[in-house]
């Protein structure tokens, strides 16, 4: 038998090596471990919620949110900082970049794949 034939024989035997394989068995304590993980996960959320729901923390969060909102409103009502975008700006931009500003001109029923 040549070495090429021997190699082909090896390959054939290797491909058959999983025939009759038995299913690997999971850890018998898998459920206990899953349960422990789920409890840990639940505990993290419980701890987070119990921390947030402490009166001092809850009041502090509300104060911070109100302060941020107040600051945002005050900032917006200040001297005009925002430049308004008019339709002229948009059409100027569209012309400059050769963009079709409207899609109304498309005929979807007769479109070709050109």
Per CB under 8 A, residues contacting another protein are 3, 6-7, 10-11, 13-15, 17-18, 20-27, 30-31, 33-34, 37-38, 41
Dump the DSSP string for 19-68.
Answer: TTPPPPPPPTTHHHHHHHHHHHHHHHHHHHHHHHTSHHHHHHHHHHHHHH
Q: Please state the closest distance from residue 52 (CB atom) to another protein, in A.
A: 22
- What does the DSSP 8-state code read for residue 109? G
Q: Please state the closest distance from residue 20 (CB atom) to another protein, in A.
A: 7
Longest distance between any two alpha carbons in the chain, whole Å:
94
- Residue 23 or residue 76: which is nearer to another protein going by CB? 23
- Residue 34 or residue 44: which is nearer to another protein going by CB? 34
How far is it, in rounded angstroms, from Cα 27 to Cα 7? 38
- Residue 27 or residue 102: which is nearer to another protein going by CB? 27
């Amino acid at each position: 038998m040549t070495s090429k034939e021997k190699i082909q024989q090896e390959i054939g035997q290797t491909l058959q090596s999983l025939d009759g394989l038995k299913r690997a068995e999971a850890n018998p304590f898998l459920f206990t471990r899953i349960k422990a993980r789920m409890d840990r996960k639940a505990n993290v959320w419980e701890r987070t919620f119990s921390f947030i729901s402490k009166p001092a923390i809850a009041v502090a969060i509300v104060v911070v949110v109100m302060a941020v909102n107040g600051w945002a409103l005050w900032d917006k009502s200040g001297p005009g900082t925002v430049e308004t975008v008019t339709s002229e700006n948009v059409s100027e931009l569209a012309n400059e970049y050769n963009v079709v500003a409207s899609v109304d001109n498309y005929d979807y029923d007769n479109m070709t794949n050109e």
